[in-house]
Amino acid sequence: EVQLVESGGGLVQPGGSLRLSCAASGFTFSSYSMNWVRQAPGKGLEWVSYISTSTSTIYYADSVKGRFTISRDNAKNSLYLQMNSLRAEDTALYYCARVGMARSVDHWGQGTLVTVSS
């Protein structure tokens, strides 16, 4: 069974930093591209960042470009999101998500909540 378990969320002050982690199991992690997707409280889904299997291709949403860094460790079956210069508008539930057929997201974690507030 595919499992994606996020961790690292919490309360942080504006301008602060957090590092999110996602532990993957139940599939060959190194064979799949991965996304981070977030959802602000009561709002819709927003794609954040993408990383290919070998890390050769990385994309960011304009809203996080220059502040967030995605990475992965295939030996540890783990995905990461380093978030710097956090803003109130970054407050959201952050999902780790596996990229499947036709660039859809075929598996999602349960999310980790990031709250940016003073």
List of residues contacting another protein (CB under 8 A): 35, 37, 44-47, 50, 59, 62, 95, 100-111
Closer by beta carbon to another protein, 9 or else 109: 109
Closer by beta carbon to another protein, 17 or else 59: 59
Residues in CB range of 91: below 8 A, 6 or more apart: 40, 41, 114, 115, 116, 117
Residues in CB range of 105: below 8 A, 6 or more apart: 35, 37, 97, 98, 99
Smallest distance, another protein to C-beta of residue 22, A: 13
Token output for 79:
């995905």
Closer by beta carbon to another protein, 16 or else 69: 69
